[in-house]
Amino acid sequence: MNEIHFLNRRSKLLDIMEEGVAIITSAPTQTRSNDTEYSYRQNSDFYYLSGFNEDNSVLVLIKTPTSSKTILFVEAHNAEHALWNGARLGIDGARERFSVDEVHDVTQYFGMIKEILREHINLYIDLYNDSARVIEAKAAAQSLHSTRGVKRHIRSIRDVTYLIHSLRLIKSPEEIETIKKAIAITAEGHHQAMEKCRAGMIEYQLQAIMNYVFLNNGAMSEAYGAIVAGGNNANTLHYVDNRDELRDGDLVLIDAACEWELYASDITRTFPINGKFSDPQREVYNAVLDVQLRVIEAIRVGVKRDWFQTYSEELLCGALIKLGVLNGELCALIEAKEHKKYAPHGIGHWMGLDVHDPCPYVDELGESLAFMAGMVMTIEPGLYFRADDESVPERYRGIGIRIEDNILVTKEGYENLSSIIAKSVEEIELMCNQL
């Protein structure tokens, strides 16, 4: 994404801030074991505003009634680091590359922040993630508070993430293109898994097929830990072991997707391991698919998120009645939350730089947000019938199905960004029997 997008985002954040100083810090590196690290993943908020992908850096936005300034603190070039880990952009490189007003060595951060805070009363930080640099900023504010002769001092510490997450809720055309790229690679991964799946394989072998597609197409990583769940394993919602054998006659649920330029995709497909749905599997599959299609059809600007959640639960409950899993009157069953046993999770979530984008679901008064053009969300209904659950008709026991797509709200209604991925029974059976 081009520098102008990051510049626009910073200026939008400055617009919605009151006078004061906002501090957004990069993610730390994370130890995996002893002296080895996980591959680095930038803090999404920091990346959203800076486009900078190095650790140990800080973005500072300053707003006065008449002006604004942006400062990026970065780690200087260091020959030792360059030898072992590769060259950093360094101070001159960052000055050249980014259109911030100033770039400084991160070692100057504490001294400079202390000077900057002398002039302000509002400090915006991530209130819920005390990074070392945020602790330093609070310490600087505290020391100024007890220093004589300081004209102004910080009187209010506010959460900067709420403001950033409100901006992140509406995706720009460039963000949507980036998400589409992630989905295109993920689509190929799901299709190859369908084509290559055979009874007797191990779940992780399907995961490996997908990861090969992701990396081979230049994606940096999975967007989240893949779920490859054969048979009854699909009824464990966050099953990530992926080490069981795939059995003839079972379904496999794959919830796996890649990240492209830090933007996620999040796709689930459930398909027969031997390439052909049995009658009970088809019945449950079509029940879930019908709910998914009807929920997606209801997406349009102005629809409230909480109505939408309720509507999806009514549809799922109706499906459970039709399948003979629940008996009784729809309203009474919903009221008693009987459907939750078989459909325990929500209908979907915002998606973007994080697979579960932390953007708000309610406004500042706690009222459910209405859909607006540019929002991107997942729609992922599921029904889960555990093998040992005697409340379920025997023919359905051990079946767990989720179908998940990524949907953009548009002025006209919606666009299913993942519609290219095989989904109907016929499309899936065709894809499973290609090779």
- Within 10 angstroms of residue 107's Cβ, the number of other Cβ atoms is 11
Nearer to Mn ion, 45 or 255 (CB): 255
The DSSP symbol for 239 reads: -
The reply on whether position 263 binds ligand GLY by CB under 6 A is no
Least distance from ligand GLY to the Cβ atom of residue 169, Å: 17
Element (H, E) at 81: helix 79-85
The reply on whether position 266 binds Mn ion by CB under 5 A is yes
The reply on whether position 384 binds ligand GLY by CB under 6 A is no
In the list 75, 126, 266, 313, the residue contacting ligand GLY (rule: CB under 6 A) is 266
Q: Determine the distance from the C-alpha atom of residue 103 to the mean position of all C-alpha atoms in its chain, rounded to a whole number.
A: 30
Which of these ranges, 148-156, 178-186, 315-323, 403-411, lies near Mn ion under the rule CB under 5 A? Answer: 403-411
Based on its alpha-carbon atoms, the radius of gyration of the chain, rounded to whole angstroms, reads 25
The answer to whether the CB of 307 falls within 8 A of the CB of 284 is no
238, 241, 297, 427: the active-site residue: 238
Least distance from Mn ion to the Cβ atom of residue 312, Å: 14
The answer to whether the CB of 317 falls within 8 A of the CB of 326 is yes
CA distance linking residue 121 with residue 363, whole number of Å? 26
266, 313, 357, 405: the active-site residue: 266
Question: CB under 5 to 8 A by kind: which of ligand GLY, Mn ion, none does 98 bind?
Answer: none
45, 55, 203, 255: the active-site residue: 255
Nearer to ligand GLY, 88 or 171 (CB): 171
Scan residues 387-416 and list those touching ligand GLY (CB under 6 A): 404
Which of these ranges, 104-112, 181-189, 228-236, 370-378, lies near Mn ion under the rule CB under 5 A? Answer: 370-378
CA distance linking residue 407 with residue 265, whole number of Å? 10
Least distance from ligand GLY to the Cβ atom of residue 406, Å: 10
CA distance to 10, 45, 90, 226, 359, per residue, from 163 (Å): 11, 10, 29, 31, 9
Least distance from ligand GLY to the Cβ atom of residue 356, Å: 6
290 is an active site residue: no
Nearer to Mn ion, 55 or 380 (CB): 380
Can you tell me which residue has the tokens 């994404």?
A: 1
The reply on whether position 255 binds ligand GLY by CB under 6 A is yes
3-state secondary structure of 84: helix
The reply on whether position 357 binds ligand GLY by CB under 6 A is no
Sign of CA dihedral 43, 140, 160, 23: negative
191 is an active site residue: no
349 is an active site residue: yes
Nearer to Mn ion, 13 or 379 (CB): 379
In the list 354, 380, 405, 418, the residue contacting ligand GLY (rule: CB under 6 A) is 380
Query: What value, to the nearest 5°, has the Cα angle with vertex 328 and ends 346 and 284?
Result: 50
Alpha helices in 146-278 (DSSP H): 160-168, 173-196, 203-216
CA distance linking residue 317 with residue 342, whole number of Å? 9
Residue (of 376, 378, 381) closest to 290 by Cα position: 381
191, 380, 396, 405: the active-site residue: 380
402 is an active site residue: yes
Tokens of 204: 């992780």
404 is an active site residue: yes
In the list 56, 378, 406, 418, the residue contacting Mn ion (rule: CB under 5 A) is 378
Nearer to ligand GLY, 12 or 345 (CB): 345
Residue (of 184, 179, 129, 201) closest to 159 by Cα position: 129
Element (H, E) at 383: strand 382-384
Query: What value, to the nearest 5°, has the Cα angle with vertex 309 and ends 306 and 315?
Result: 140
In the list 48, 124, 224, 239, the residue contacting ligand GLY (rule: CB under 6 A) is 224
Chain position whose Cβ is nearest to ligand GLY? 255
The DSSP symbol for 40 reads: P
Least distance from ligand GLY to the Cβ atom of residue 223, Å: 8
Least distance from ligand GLY to the Cβ atom of residue 378, Å: 6
3-state secondary structure of 225: coil
48, 224, 239, 384: the active-site residue: 384
Least distance from ligand GLY to the Cβ atom of residue 253, Å: 11
Burial annotation 196-232 (CB, 10 A radius, 16+ → b, else e): ebeeebebebbbbbbbebbeebebbebbbebbbbbbb
Question: CB under 5 to 8 A by kind: which of Mn ion, ligand GLY, none does 224 bind?
Answer: ligand GLY
Catalytic residues: 35, 238, 255, 266, 345, 349, 356, 380, 384, 402, 404
Binding stretches for ligand GLY (CB under 6 A): 224, 255, 266, 349, 355, 380, 404
Binding stretches for Mn ion (CB under 5 A): 255, 266, 378, 404
